A and B are shown apart, each in its own frame.
Chain A
Amino acid sequence: MTTAAIPYTVEPRPDTGLNNVKLGIWLFLASEVMLFGALFASYILLRVGAPPGTWPEGATILNVPLATLNTAVLISSSVTMVMAWASCMKRDLGKFRLYMGLTVLCGVGFLIIKAIEYGAKFQHHLLPSTNTFLAIYFTLTGLHALHVIGGMAVNAWFWGPGSKMWHTAHQQFTNRVETAGLFWHFVDLVWIFLFPILYLL
């Protein structure tokens, strides 16, 4: 025995109505809100503090159609993520594999499109050091991309080797997929804020 038996890892505690993992992920997301919130606040402060006329319009530098496509890709992945979780609830392993696989593929697609965007910027010598707008653009989207990669790694694990738990501890597996889903939706939500702020405003 390496870990003591911890209560409420799977079943919810009656008086709080939550299991440990779900409470944990919500707290983690709260800290993530503060992380991205600080960067958004910095964006506002830097933009407001810039001398008039020096802050570039996002649309004049960035590729709005590609970003719109990426928004669609990411929102689709959120839908398939919910479907994957629903398949867990319905105990349909084939559907789970399908939807989880699609979620991961959407993540890959998002990153490829993002890489194309980054590549085009680098070709035109538009770098983080070029101006403060590009600095915050690369920092925010880069940090967001790291979150996408993290979420994909977890989802891929549940799609592949992690799905062994499907048969041995189904409820716990379902909880884990739900938790991963909450994180994935959060990453999606961050993009929903990033897109208008960086590309459209």
Chain B
Amino acid sequence: MAQPGTAEREERHDDHSAAHEADHQLGFWRRVVFSVDHKVIGIQYTVTSLFFLLFGFSLMMLARWQLANPGEALPVIGALFGASRMPGGVMLPEFYNQLGAMHGTIMVFMGVVPLAVGGFGNFVVPLQIGAPDMAFPRLNMASYHAYFWGGVIMLASFFVPGGAAQSGWTSYPPLSDIAPTGQTVWLVGMIFLITSSLLGSINFIVTIIQLRAPGLTFFRLPFFVWAQFVTAFLLLLAFPPLEAASFMQLMDRVAGTSFFLPSGLVVTGQALEVSGGGSPILWQHLFWFLAHPEVYVLILPAMGIIAEVIANNTRKPLWGYKALVYSVVGIGFLSFVVWAHHMFLTGMGTVMNAFFQTTTMIISIPSVIILTALILSLWGASMRFNTPMLFALAFLPMFGIGGLTGLPLGLSAADIHLHDTNYVIGHFHYVVAPGTIFALFAGIYYWFPKATGRRMSETLGKLHFWPSLLFMNGIFFPMLIQGMAGMQRRLYDGGASYSHAQDVLWWNDVMSWSAWGLGLTQVFFIVNFFWSLKKGAPAAANEWQATTLEWSAAPSPPPHGNFAVQPVVYRGPYEYSVPGMERDYLPQDDPSETAADTGSGHGLPDPVPAE
């Protein structure tokens, strides 16, 4: 398939090798550590957050083993953790609590969000909108460094006296107010991570509004860019309340205030010597004011990735592009008024419960529209079943299960039974693990050729995909069953001492084996990642015959400055299989005339002047 304008493209490439050389003249520190290039920063985010994802997951492999074999010594590696955590290989309850709290914190704030937003957002968004870089490159670097040091502080908290934070990733007071030093370190780490997110989100919004290529109107943006745009607003406006709450909890712990400590609190038989008068529920409000939009921060970029991969591999336009855009914007607004559905059991009263239950039901509508549009996009397609597409296809039913199991939790009556059970854990892990994390894997397999100039192995990719799908369900489906049987979350002994849990205890073994199996399966991914980096087959500039600018207008990998000439956009993002054309894809920057006549509705050329 010869492309029109191949000569021109090669010419661009020549231009770029000069820029490339200038790039190499920078020293190691400026090029790798203190780089201001969005692609380098994107890769920094990706590698760092993948490490944290693996680390955060391995904490749960330990905890799952404990739940399946409570009170037994962990063979071989158990003794390595020291007497303060696992004396003789037997896990102490305090260490179990640290594993749970830090697993949640690491996966959400140091793993998934930095990968989805910092990694993919940074690398892909400027390329997809035809920009030379992010709007504020140095701010971008600062936000990565804030994230990095936030991560280091979080990891260091395992080594302070009393260990890391152990009050759950939600850090509910009063427990968190009176917890050991690790909680203070957790709060300081969070302030770093929040600062990083704030700086990043400003950068994304400005970049998307200001640096779009000529002709790239808002309704020609790839859906991934829309998802990142809404996500950035959520981060910008939802994170500051948690930052405020973190300051207040820090004051409680360091300056002795009582923001979250009620009067008359008794700890281990002794009255707490504080002024009191505070409100633990206040923390919950501030925390969930962030953490519910945060749920959408976790899922929207994932949906964006899935949309790109599905459009590309079905070789047809996305079904209902505008409906998708309106839905994602609608989710953005609604996500700010659903937070207290996490707090039905705090005694807010039936009026408040009814309000938040109603908004929760309403926000499910745009979510269902998005999922439906993505599923309908598959209709009648001759699909390419490559690794990114497999992960994308698995995302759809997995996210579907995650979404549908959320409905009973959003209804305050049903939530009384299910609140704080393993059902909740199963529900949101279906959204975030085989949902978001599968989407992130799809994104890595999809954009790896663009970032490195080399393809990943399809064989290893499939060896990674199928067992991952099996083990993910092996871990999370039993949680739904256990939860409906009434088994509480966060039990140190996995429910062994509860008579009502006896019938569902055996699932703990299934989940433990699945967790270790899932860990083992990731070896295929790690090998694939590093092997392909060195030995993968060279990738073409437009490896997937895609329509969006990162593939059609920039070489693989793109040089410093991304594009030799400013790309001009003539049409919408998903002009696949345009009738009457020889090729089955029509890139956004392809000036050919046929496009104007055969574009599918949102593709008329719009000659916006370049300056």
Contact = CB atoms under 8 A, between A and B. Distances in A.
Interface of A: 1-8, 13-16, 18-20, 23-24, 27-28, 30-32, 34-39, 42, 45-46, 49-51, 54, 127-132, 135-136, 138-139, 143
B7 interface: no
Given A6-B132, A46-B278, A16 B561 contact: no
B279 A139 contact: no
Nearest to B560: A4
B257 A132 contact: yes
B135 A31 contact: no
B502 interface: no
B243 A5 contact: no
A4 B133 contact: yes
B247 A143 contact: yes
Given A31-B198, A132-B275, A3 B133 contact: yes
B30 to A, nearest CB: 7
Contacts of B275: 129-132, 135
B211 A8 contact: yes
Nearest to B258: A132
Contacts of A127: 255-256
9 contacts: A2-B36, A4-B137, A20-B136, A20-B211, A28-B198, A42-B248, A128-B255, A129-B274, A135-B275
A13 B209 CA distance: 10
B239 A31 contact: yes
A39 B238 CA distance: 13
A131 B256 CA distance: 10
Given A23-B210, A28-B202, A131 B244 contact: no
B237 A31 contact: yes
Contact of B211 (A7, A14, A39, A51): A7
A16 B259 contact: no
A31 B560 contact: no
B416 interface: no
B392 interface: no
Interface string B121-149: 00000000001110111100000000000
B88 interface: no
A46 B259 contact: yes
A42 B255 contact: no
B251 interface: yes
A12 to B, nearest CB: 9
B241 interface: yes
Given A27-B205, A129-B255, A139-B248, A34 B560 contact: no
Contacts of A129: 255-258, 274-275
Task: Sort chain B's interface into a size bin.
Answer: 35 or more
Interface string B568-611: 00000000000000000000000000000000000000001101
Nearest to B25: A1
Given A38-B244, A128-B251, A138-B255, A1 B560 contact: yes
Contact of B251 (A3, A30, A50, A135): A135
Contacts of B258: 129, 132, 135
A85 B92 CA distance: 62
Return the 10 tightest CB-CB contacts between A and B, nearest first.
A129-B256, A135-B257, A38-B241, A35-B240, A34-B240, A4-B132, A38-B244, A4-B561, A132-B277, A128-B255
B562 A4 contact: yes
Contact of B210 (A8, A34, A35, A50): A8
A14 B259 contact: no
B148 to A, nearest CB: 20
Contacts of A130: 275
Given A129-B275, A135-B257, A139-B251, A38 B202 contact: no
Given A38-B244, A139-B247, A139-B251, A24 B562 contact: no
Interface string B257-296: 1110000000000000011011100100110010000000
B370 to A, nearest CB: 25
Contacts of B279: 45-46, 49
A13 B241 CA distance: 32
B567 to A, nearest CB: 13
Contact of B137 (A3, A35, A139): A3
Contacts of A1: 19, 22, 560
Given A4-B133, A39-B244, A139 B257 contact: yes
Contact of B286 (A2, A15, A42, A50): A42
A116 B138 CA distance: 38
The residue among B19, B135, B247, B608 with the most chain A CB atoms within 10 A of its own CB is: B135
A21 B468 CA distance: 44
A43 to B, nearest CB: 10
B354 interface: no
Contacts of B236: 27, 30-31, 34
Contact of A6 (B133, B243, B285): B133
B244 A35 contact: yes
Contacts of B26: 2
A38 B256 contact: no
Interface in B2-49: 19, 22, 26, 30, 36-37
Nearest to B235: A31
A94 to B, nearest CB: 31
Nearest to B278: A132
A35 B240 CA distance: 5
A20 B206 contact: yes
Nearest to A8: B210
Given A27-B202, A45-B282, A129-B274, A38 B240 contact: yes
B559 to A, nearest CB: 10
Contacts of B211: 6-8, 20
Contacts of B439: none
B211 to A, nearest CB: 7
Contact of A42 (B138, B240, B259): B259
Task: From B238, B275, B289, B561, name the one whose CB has the most chain A CB atoms within 10 angstroms.
Answer: B275
Instruction: Give the residue among B36, B131, B274, B277 with the most A Cβ atoms within 10 A.
Output: B277
B202 A31 contact: yes
A50 to B, nearest CB: 6
Contacts of A31: 198, 201-202, 236-237, 239-240
